[in-house]
Copies of this chain bind each other. A is one copy, B any other.
Amino acid sequence: MIKTKPVPAELNRLRDFGLRVLARRGPLADEEDRAVRAALAEMQGAAAGHELITEGQPLNRPCLLLEGWAVRQRVLSDGRRQIYTFLLPGDGIGLCARPDGVALQNTLALTPVTFAPMPLLNQRLQAQARTGLGEVAWDMLSLEEAFLTNQVMRLGRQSAYERLIHLLLEFHDRLKAKGAVEAGSFVMPFTQEVLSDALGLSTVHTNRVLQQLRRERLIETHAATVRLIDPALLAEIADYRTSPRLG
């Protein structure tokens, strides 16, 4: 299930991306920089569908996601699935501020993914270190919490139409912060079924709402690429507010 490492040029791009993400709060101290570079050299891949973390498993192998999308999800005994959060390139996987924490959801690769083990992330969280890397790790955790908060509001009190817009805006903002948005458009590399399991809808209905948004010229889609035509208008419709710390 674990794939071979990517080709060198690609590898360098991913390493640099990782370095940029981890230095977001300012240049890392020499020691942290060395450790991070060493960890990034250990990057590995996994196929789409691979389960990266299993519910109940100790959270002692934090990683940095460098490429591809993943989700945290749970499945009811009758097969119904609920997606809790999406993990995008640059996000942490398996972070935990508690020494003996345990995963509450499964983490699943939606696409082929590349990630690097990054034990330093949990070390900094658990040491409450106020270093550059420590701040970044805490920001990651805080953001996860903010996204989950958004998710609850969407599921509990918004219509399908609002929910979808709200989630699209969240993707837009998160990817924009990572430099992966161009003229309002970005890639959503997964099926409408995934979207439905995140939004608590049937795939048929998700499809219809997407079509409505296209008809109303609020979004455009080409293959897996989405363009938000008027993000400000969308934000008003769905009562969306950008999360702080997304800088």
Contact = CB atoms under 8 A, between A and B. Distances in A.
Given A76-B157, A76-B239, A82 B152 contact: yes
A46 B147 CA distance: 31
A38 interface: no
Most buried by B among A84, A130, A142, A155: A155
A127 interface: yes
Given A80-B158, A156-B197, 6 more contacts: A76-B153, A76-B239, A83-B156, A102-B142, A155-B156, A156-B199
Contact of A200 (B101, B130, B156): B156
Interface of A: 74, 76-78, 80-84, 97-99, 101-102, 104-105, 126-128, 130, 138, 141-142, 145-146, 148-149, 151-153, 155-158, 197, 199-200, 239, 244
A142 B101 CA distance: 8
A197 B157 CA distance: 8
12 contacts: A80-B157, A82-B152, A82-B153, A84-B149, A97-B97, A98-B142, A128-B128, A148-B152, A151-B152, A155-B155, A155-B156, A156-B200
A79 to B, nearest CB: 10
A123 to B, nearest CB: 11
A144 to B, nearest CB: 10
Contact of A152 (B127, B146, B152): B152
B239 A77 contact: yes
A148 B153 CA distance: 12
Nearest to A74: B153
A102 to B, nearest CB: 8
